[in-house]
Structure 1
Amino acid sequence: MFNAAAVEVDITPPVGVKMAGYGARLKASQGIHDPLKAQILFLELNDSRAVLISMDLLAVQAQFSKNMRAAITEKTGVAEDHVLIACSHTHSGPQGFNLDDLILQETQYETLQEITCQKIAGACAWAKGLLQPAVISLGHSTIDGLGLNRNDPQKGAADHQVSVLRIDEASGKPLAVLFNYGCHPTVMGADNLQISADYPGAARSMLKELYPQVVFMFTNSAAGDVSTRFTRRSATFSEVTRLGQIMGAAVLQAMNVAESFDPQTLKARVEPIDLPLKEFPTEAETQELLAEAKDTLSRMQAEHASAGELRKIITKIEGIEVFLLQIKYYKGKEKLQSELQSIQIGPLHIVAVPGEPFSKTFLDIKQRIQPDQAILVGYANDYKGYFPESVPGLPGTYEDFVSPFSSQAALIIKELAIKLIKEK
């Protein structure tokens, strides 16, 4: 017997906390445009249980996930490795959950962490009490006008597929919908001081108007090099709404073509992973790169380059400045450790990655398996940053500089993900 339940809780922080996502944002939050939410999808098949959690946060570190998993296990009995914790990656949420981030150096809010942990653990116990017979379906659609490769919008890789996991009551009434798509929720920029879930929250709001009783949850996918940089018309909340509606329309389409499948198995697996660091140049060489990039910016400004092109060189400068910090911080280190997680529901594998995979990574995975077999979830369980793959003709991007990893890290993630998907 396959059972499911879903609940949603508010995790909006107090006004006045510092906001995550932009090093250039110096002021704390000054208001709430729309609330931040967390959704819990509780699945049960015979004696096996799994919990999928999505939160409107930038990212969480491994220690927070460890604490939350322990709290959920205590309240529900679900094994810790059967709990997946994903973040939407909104850049208009609170700091305090990703304290290991060398780039952003977040302020610690222990009370906020504890309250959020207890809210979600309690919601998991709530969902356990709501379990009911259910039917599971998987659907896909293609989205246009939302995410593009933010370094090369014409030729750069971007996965335009939206994947939807639909859970219905036995009667056929929708109960929960998980939608997965890879794109940075960065419509609102560093000057925004209003807390917001960005376009995924706007998509959920649109969908809730049509299905008020359904829990809609967003998980980000291979978004490392994909954003709204070249599709957004402005950095305004009206634009958040417009792009959210584009997202919502694609979800509706996928919901309506979703096909049910037999969840004959429900199991999970967590695999440790070693992520090799890059070979860093000298500080002098990096300072020279920084000077060249600043000269390029000055020339482009004088030539009145477009906002999108200016943003590319500005983020490159920001990346080189972070690179200088990394040269010192990672001196003597060769690798960082984290984990990959797979939750298998019948033929479907949901693979959780601890950071920001690039589009090429997931597109390559889908070429080597049956595409309907996998949903790739980024920003999950831990956050180690960008996992760039070397792309000919695109050296020296912001992501290349900011990531401490060699391109080998992405290849290791790719091969382990494929192994987890293919293993029965």
Structure 2
Amino acid sequence: MSVASIAFSADDQPAIAAGQIDTGVGSVDITPTEPVTLAGSPSPKRAAEVKTRLFVRALVLSGSGKRVAIVTLDTLKYPVELAVRARAKIEQDTGIPASNVIICASHTHFGPLWSYYEDQLVTPIAEAVARAARDVAPCTVGTAKGKAEGISECRRVIKDGHAWNRWQLENPAEAAQYPAEGPADPEFDVLALRNGDGKLKAVVYNFACHAANTRAPVISADYPGEVEKCVQKQLGYEVPTLFLTGACGDINPVYTVKRDLFAERLGGELVRCVGQLEPITQPSLSVECREFQMPGREHPEFKEAEVARNWPGQLEHYRQAYETMKQREKPSYDYFMTGIRIGNDFAIVTNADELFCSIGMSIKSHSPFQHTMVAEQTNGAHGYVPTAKAFEGGSYETWFGEHSYLSTQAGEIIERESLEILKGLKHAP
């Protein structure tokens, strides 16, 4: 069967029992077969050894006359223009509306950029969704809350009135002397789907921490890949775990603990969660997609003195980043946000940035849903969105360039829009 031949309407789906939702899962392996440049560092390295494989994974859900696709992608980021192309191809190939598709990059620092792949990953993304659309069958669905402490931390500390990233200090071990600028979020939500035989068909989770735990120049999905291996080992069978990147613009793994602790704690907690799921007895679907123009940075300038103080070895790198971004600068940028509701008390809301953790935590705390996933790096990649406090403190997430160019008000805009989407979904039929 060709991919293009599988488009169908929601009316074509088989009838399902109360408390079930049609669910399909698909994946495409995108692990490089040759040495590649690892993205995510001002001084990138090349690697050929594979630690954990890279995938595009897709989850298709069908119910209430709607279909949605949740796609996770093991790469650093995925630009908005490519997300638009991929979503359009998914609609063309499967009939799932582009507005009902979210594509979330894991932000792994140990794989190639999208540009490495032949068609910039558009075809693998669409193929993963096509496979999921062919795989649909009735499943029960449940939610849970987890907590994994001691593995993530705010990477920004305040020293002499200025914000420093821990690795920017002359002796990073001294970071413990200084207060963290913001919180880390150890809590996360889980969505799990079970086949008729009782086995898990898929697990979706959302955790707020940079995927930068591997600590060696190897090809790796980073901790999401290690977590999946841990979960499968404890369960005794294979189950796809789809990782939605949480609000972690200022959150890194704790590098002073053993590397394996991350997967052990988060993976072990995921297994505990799927053993204590709260069933969604009426898993109706609602979706809201918003497209608008996000303002660019007000009066950008090159913070030469600040760069020279915080990260002198990268002064020329950030000077070039500033000059390059000034040439590409726009007054505003195409921006997508999507909300997906499953049942009465679970929702996902997306943004296209590296959102600072406290903003994501505020969205979750003010959400009308008991279970809210705030998924960043989704349907675009517009760089860091710090808090107002972080802009005052400075450091590299705030420096105008390729990775930081949106309005200083972007965090407030994202929080406001997220809560409006969530409130609308709560009252949707």
Report TM bin, short chain: 0.7 to 0.9
Q: CA RMSD in A?
A: 2.5
| Post-superposition CA distance 1:374-406 (Å, at most 9, x none) | 211111111000111112796112212252223
1:338 to 335, 339, 354: 335
Of the candidates 128, 134, 140, which is equivalent to residue 135 of structure 1?
Answer: 140
Q: What are the superposed Cα offsets for residues 62-121 of structure 1, whole Å, 9 maximum, x if unpaired?
A: 2221222222223221111111111110000112x2xxxxxxxxxx435152xx433332
Q: Which amino acid aligns with 2:246?
A: S
Determine whether 1:290 maps to 2:307.
yes
Map of 2:224 onto structure 1: 200
- How many pairs align? 380
Q: 2:123 aligns with which of 100, 118, 121?
A: 118
Distance in 2, matches of 1:354 and 1:318, equals 27
What is aligned with 1:310?
none
2:307–2:396 contact (8 Å) kept in structure 1: no
C-alpha offsets along residues 231-253 of structure 1, whole Å, 9 cap, x if unaligned? 2237xxxx543321221012122
SS of residue matched to 2:46: coil
Amino acid in the other structure paired with 1:395 = G
Contact map agreement 1:219 1:378 (CA 8 A) in 2: yes
TM-score computed with the length of structure 1 as normaliser? 0.82
Letter of the structure 2 residue corresponding to residue 375 of structure 1: M
Q: What is the DSSP-based 3-state SS (H/G/I as helix, E as strand, rest coil) of the residue aligned with 2:36?
A: coil
Task: Point out where structure 2 has 5 or more consecutive residues left out of the alignment.
Answer: 1-15, 158-178
Task: Quote the residue 2:85 is aligned against.
Answer: 67
* 1:216 correspondence with 2:274: no
What pairs up with 1:79-158 in 2 under 5 angstroms? 79-95=97-113, 97=114, 108-109=115-116, 111=118, 113=120, 116-152=121-157, 154=180, 156-158=182-184
Q: Find the partner of 2:256 among 215, 227, 233.
A: 233
Moved more, 217-226 or 7-16: 7-16
Partner of 1:218: helix, strand, or coil?
A: strand
Say if 2:378 is the partner of 1:355. Answer: no
**Number of the residue aligned with 2:5:** none
Q: Secondary structure, in 3 states, of the residue corresponding to 1:136?
A: strand
2:322 is matched with which residue: 321, 324, 334?
A: 324
Question: SS state of the match for residue 271, structure 1?
Answer: strand
CA deviations on 1:340-398 (whole Å, 9 max, x unpaired) are 11122222221111111111112211232235242111111110001111127961122
- Assess, with a 3 A threshold, how the Cα gap between structure 1 residues 46 and 28 changes in structure 2: closer, same or farther: same
Secondary structure of 1:32's match? coil
Cα distance in 2 for partners of 1:126, 1:339 equals 25
Q: Check 1:82–1:281 CA distance in 2 against 1; reply closer, same or farther (3 A cut).
A: closer
TM-score (norm 2): 0.81
Listed as ranges, the gaps of 5+ residues in structure 1 are 98-107, 298-313
Preserved contact between residue 82 and residue 267 of structure 1 (Cα < 8 Å): no
Corresponding residue of 2:195: 169
Residues 126-171 of structure 1 deviation map (CA, whole Å, 9 limit, x = unaligned): 2222211111111111111211111136462222112110111244
Aligned to 1:407, what secondary structure does the other structure show? coil
Q: Residue 280 of structure 1 contacts residue 327 of structure 1 at CA under 8 Å; is this kept in 2?
A: no
Partner of 1:411: 412
Query: Between the two proteins, what is the percent identity of the paired residues?
Result: 25
